[in-house]
Chains A and B, each alone.
Chain A
Amino acid sequence: MEFLTVHSPALVVAVPLLAAFITPLISRIGNKFRDTVNVTFLSFAAFLMAVLAVDIYTSGTRIYTFGATVPELAIPEHYMVPVRIIFQVDGISIFMGLTTTVVALAALVYSLQFVKDETGQDRFYSLFMILYVGMVGLEFTGDMFNMFVFLEILSIAGAGLASYRVNLADAVEGGFKYIVISAISALLVLFAIGILYGEYNLLSIAALAHNMQFTTLDMIALALLGIAFVMKLAGVPLHMWAPDTYAVAPAGITPMIYTSSAASMYALYRITFTLYGGHFDTTAIGWIVIILGVLSMFIGVMMAIHQTDIKRLMAYHAISQSGYMLLGVGVGLAVLTDPVALAAYGRDAMNGGIFHIINNALYKGMLFLTAEAIFFRIGTRDLNRMGGLGHNMKWTTIFFIIGALAISGIPPFNGFASKLLIYESVFRFNPLLSVIAMFVSLVTLASFTKVFYSAFTGPEMSAYKEVREVPKSMLIGMGVMAAAIIFFSIFPGLVVNTIVAPATNALIDQASYINGVMGAVP
């Protein structure tokens, strides 16, 4: 157990990677065996993540230096700066890691039956594991160049998986758009890293933050990084890829790609709060993030309302929900240098924005899964051709209702808990923003009411008389997410205090992140 705790940051990435590499070999033994091995490995990774989480919430930030003699030896002897690859796991990293793991487990179990009759399953599972590795690595790394590497890993795996169903005409288009956007954003990130490296001869985030001068070059690097990650998280001026990619990706993959957008959002926060924290005019940058958030919220939901393709509609809602997260954390960023305002409402706004990440990953992921369950049974995503599915797909209907109520922020669901935090705190910052947020929430409710009526209610249609409930593994996948949503809805206070507040503290407290690595250096 001691061994597992010490090595958990590395093993969380290494175990799924091992699964990805042995999948092509063991699939020769049999598909059942391969599925069992994959689920076992991912469950083991989830167990390790839980062990790591408990350790971090009890004893603080963890550092794991690859290839050193002891994990904490970030700066080797006779060196002044960190040179090795470092995983630095603090409150926000582990929060993102837990989110990713829950979504990945549910998505993997759901996919077992979903891809059962497709070809190329070995590659599906290999890429699935690599996508998980990319996300967790991006969230844990303490090194700029590694951030780029893991961003590439998750982009390539995501693009391969998004175009998995090549028999659907538009799948290749969705995958292609995703890889083009990812390549552009990865190049921008690489360019920014080159600027920073050329200037400081450093790659470690903590060491860079320690030495940050905020020269003109640093501003250029900040702009490049910001554009790249806003592109990856589908914030509104750069959101054009999201509907195409989310709509065509296979069921288990849409929540995963959505979570990888959340991981990019984490990278954006890490850059603004930790790497550049306190050096720039936080009010101005905070307002930029807020405006991006409001635009995403508003335009996302307005585009969603007239869609007839159920997954495109949900994809636009995904963009709109990302806006809430940007809004909450943006308000926190805007008042970062003002301790009074930060204590009065900034912290709560950030809590709301960060809590919304995990809430949204859960209910949005589950809604995507229900949409794909419908597609699995009736073969269309067109809302105009659906109807009366509630008669035969009872569990899917229940899961959809839970998800729809949660995303619209109806009490007592978890969406309400995080949105209330955002409304209340943002109202004290600027009432207008709060009003816009509430309006967007109302339109979301209207839009999901439309989906519910056209897909599930009404008389049984003759064409869909034979439609049955989806297979068990798919129900279990949705059930895992529904259980998590209900847990979060019943105990929002507990969740905010145990996992969200440490995440907010980790973002605000830049000094402790730097000291974690640079502690010995004066």
Chain B
Amino acid sequence: MLSKIVRTISDQLILFILIYGLYIIIHGHVTPGGGFQGGAVIASGVVMMIVAFGSGEIKKSLRERHLSVVESSGALIFIGMAFAGMGTLFFYNFLVGTPVFGGIPPTGPNPGDVWTGGVIPLMNFGVGLKVSAGLSAVILAMALFSRGEETEE
């Protein structure tokens, strides 16, 4: 556990890091970035908390079991979207033209409408869940191992 100054600043900063990560995930289909990058940003927030508060403290609120559930659901969202297109073909983008993320952006330079892309933003979201939970679990496990603790199985 680090000094009180570091802990207080980390407490404030984590909010911004999480929002930035979510921003990158949600805008994945219109700007550089996407599910993996945003998830990695969120996981870096977890790293900051582990450094500031120590892995023992973080372990109480961030359980490996729960992270593993989130990770699996992220993967399931991704493949579920692919299966949902099976009416036409596997991975068919069935949401284009519907009210959900259905907009079709104009060709050429455009302001970057988020409400486009069909299943791609949803898949980005799934990947983001998987990466943030998976990377956090890996880092937490490594932090706990280096202290000589066993993770729960």
Q: Please list the residues of chain A having a beta carbon within 8 angstroms of any beta carbon in chain B.
A: 7, 10-11, 14, 17-18, 21-22, 24-25, 64-71, 85, 119-120
Contact (Cβ within 8 A) B89 A69:
yes
Given A14-B83, A22-B76, do A66 and B90 touch, yes or no (CB 8 Å)? yes
Inter-subunit contact A70/B89 (CB<8 Å): yes
- Please, how many angstroms separate the alpha-carbon atoms of A120 and B92 in the complex? 35
Complex Cα–Cα for A440 and B64 (A): 52
Set of chain B residues within 8 Å of A65, measured between Cβ atoms: 89
- Specify the chain A residue showing the minimal Cβ separation from B69: A25
Interface string of B72-84 (1 = CB under 8 A from A): 1101100100110
- Taking CB atoms, residues of chain A closer than 8 Å to B69 are 24-25
A21 to B71, CA, bound (A): 9
- Beyond A14-B79, A18-B79, A21-B76, is A66–B71 a contact (Cβ under 8 Å)? no
B71, closest chain A residue (CB): A24
Instruction: Please provide the chain B residues from 106 to 137 with a CB less than 8 Å away from any CB of chain A in the complex.
Output: none
* Chain A: minimal CB distance from B23 (Å): 26
* Docked-complex contact B72 and A22, CB < 8 angstroms: yes
Q: How far is the CA of A85 from the CA of B75 in the complex (A)?
A: 20
In the assembled complex, how far is the CB of residue B129 from the closest CB belonging to chain A, in whole angstroms?
Answer: 12
Contact B153 A119 (CB under 8 A): yes
Given A10-B91, A17-B79, A25-B69, 12 other A-B residues pairs in contact with their CB atoms under 8 A: A7-B89, A7-B90, A10-B90, A14-B79, A18-B76, A18-B83, A21-B76, A25-B73, A67-B90, A69-B89, A71-B89, A85-B91
B130 — nearest CB in chain A belongs to which residue? A21
Q: Can you spell out 6 A-B residue pairs with CB atoms less than 8 angstroms apart?
A: A10-B89, A14-B82, A21-B75, A25-B69, A66-B91, A69-B88
B85 within 8 A of A: yes
Write the nearest CB–CB distance from A142 to chain B, whole angstroms: 15
Among A10, A21, A64, chain B packs the most CB atoms within 10 A around the CB of A21
Q: How far is the CA of A456 from the CA of B71 in the complex (A)?
A: 47
* Neighbouring A residues of B79 by C-beta, 8 Å: 14, 17-18, 21
The contact of B93 among A21, A64, A67, by CB within 8 Å, is: A67
- Are A67 and B76 in contact, with the CB atoms below 8 A? no
Q: Which residues of A contact B82 (CB under 8 A)?
A: 14
Rounded to whole angstroms, the CA-CA distance of A10 and B90 in the bound complex is 7
CB-based nearest B residue for A85: B91
Residue of B nearest to A11 (CB): B90
| B72–A25 CB distance below 8 A | yes
A-chain residues with CB within 8 Å of residue B72 when the two chains form the complex: 21-22, 24-25
Query: At the interface, yes or no: B10 with Cβ under 8 Å from chain A?
Result: no
Residue of A nearest to B82 (CB): A14
B19 proximity list for chain A (CB < 8 A): none
CB atoms of A67 and B91 under 8 A apart: yes
The closest CB in chain B to the CB of A87 belongs to B90
The 9 lowest CB-CB distance pairs between A and B, nearest first, are: A10-B90, A21-B75, A66-B91, A67-B91, A24-B72, A25-B72, A21-B76, A24-B68, A119-B153
CA A68 to CA B75, docked complex, whole Å: 22
Are the C-beta atoms of B92 and A68 separated by less than 8 Å?
Answer: yes
Q: Does B138 contact A (CB under 8 A)?
A: no
Residues from chain B with Cβ under 8 Å of A14 in the complex? 79, 82-83, 90
Residue in A7, A11, A22, A67 with the greatest tally of chain B CB atoms within 10 Å? A67
B15 within 8 A of A: no
How many whole Å from B94's CB to the nearest CB in chain A?
10
Whether, in the assembled complex, B104 has its beta carbon less than 8 Å from a beta carbon of chain A, the answer is: no
A7, A18, A69, A119: the one within 8 Å of B86 (CB): A7
Residues of B within 8 A of A68 (CB): 89, 92
> Smallest distance from the beta carbon of A131 to chain B beta carbons, Å?
16
Q: Which among B69, B72, B76 has the highest number of chain A CB atoms within 10 Å? A: B72
* CA gap between A17 and B78 in the complex, in Å: 11
CB neighbours (8 Å) of B68 from chain A are: 24
Q: How far is the CA of A128 from the CA of B85 in the complex (A)?
A: 26
Complex alpha-carbon distance, A64 and B83, angstroms: 15
Measured in the bound complex, the distance between the Cα atoms of B91 and A68 in whole Å is 8
CA separation between A70 and B87, bound complex, in Å?
11
| Proximity bits, B90-102, A CB within 8 Å = 1, else 0 | 1111000000000
Flag if B92 contacts A67 (CB, 8 Å): yes
Which B residues lie within 8 Å of A24 (CB)? 68-69, 71-72
Question: With a CB–CB cut-off of 8 A, which chain A residues contact B75?
Answer: 21
CA A400 – CA B88 in complex, angstroms? 48
